[in-house]
Amino acid sequence: MTIFIQSLDYNLWDLIVDGPNLPTITNENGEIIPKPRNRYNDDDRKIVQLNAKAKHIIICAINSNEFNRVSSCVSAKDMWDRLEVTYEGTNQVKEAKINMLVHEYCNTPDSEPGSLLIQDRCVTQN
């Protein structure tokens, strides 16, 4: 999906990765809040439109179960991040999976010598 989105408009991909920076204002209490739509200028509308376009592309590419996971997200970045964690796991989960596979590889008697990276990990685990 990454290449598909990038091929449509690289600005969409940047928005998904970096976030849309949706229009905000500072209220009388000094809090930053979403800017009301009736106060949008042309630049604000462009940002919101690009976010809506990115969200639309993501929604068109997912099934109903995935849609239920991301339908409450305000930005395309939030949607992407939620899908990424769902399918790839957090960095901690990824590292645990790698460690488990390396451990299995290192403890297999028939395993042939692999790359130096795996050999180093085998040495540090034993």
What pLDDT, in 10s, does the model give residues 14-49?
Answer: 999 998 888 999 999 999 999 999 999 999 999 999
In eight-state DSSP terms, residue 30 is S
Query: Of the spans 61-70, 90-99, 105-114, which averages the highest pLDDT?
Result: 61-70
| Shared-domain flag, residues 101 and 78 | no
Q: Which whole number is the average pLDDT over 97-102? A: 78
| Shared-domain flag, residues 84 and 98 | no
| Shared-domain flag, residues 76 and 43 | yes
| Shared-domain flag, residues 71 and 96 | no
- Work out the burial of residue 65: count CB atoms within 10 Å of its CB; fewer than 13 is exposed, 13-18 middle, 19 or more buried: exposed
| Shared-domain flag, residues 43 and 16 | yes
In the structure encoding, which two tokens stand for residue 81, read together?
Answer: 């991040």
Q: Using N-to-C axis directions, what is the helix angle for 42-60 and 76-88, rounded to 10°? A: 30
Q: How confident is the model at residue 67 (pLDDT cuts 50, 70, 90)?
A: very high
Residue with tokens 């639309």: 56
| Number of structural domains the chain divides into | 2
Exposure on the CB side of residue 89, measured as CA atoms within 13 A = 8
Distance CA 55, CA 80 (A): 9
Q: What global pTM score does this model have?
A: 0.66
* pLDDT, position 98: 77
Q: Using the predicted structure, report yes or no on whether residue 70 has a pLDDT greater than 70.
A: yes
| Shared-domain flag, residues 22 and 34 | yes
Exposure on the CB side of residue 32, measured as CA atoms within 13 A = 4
| Shared-domain flag, residues 74 and 107 | no
| Shared-domain flag, residues 24 and 47 | yes
Helix (H) or strand (E) holding 26: strand 24-26
For 99, the domain range is 92-125
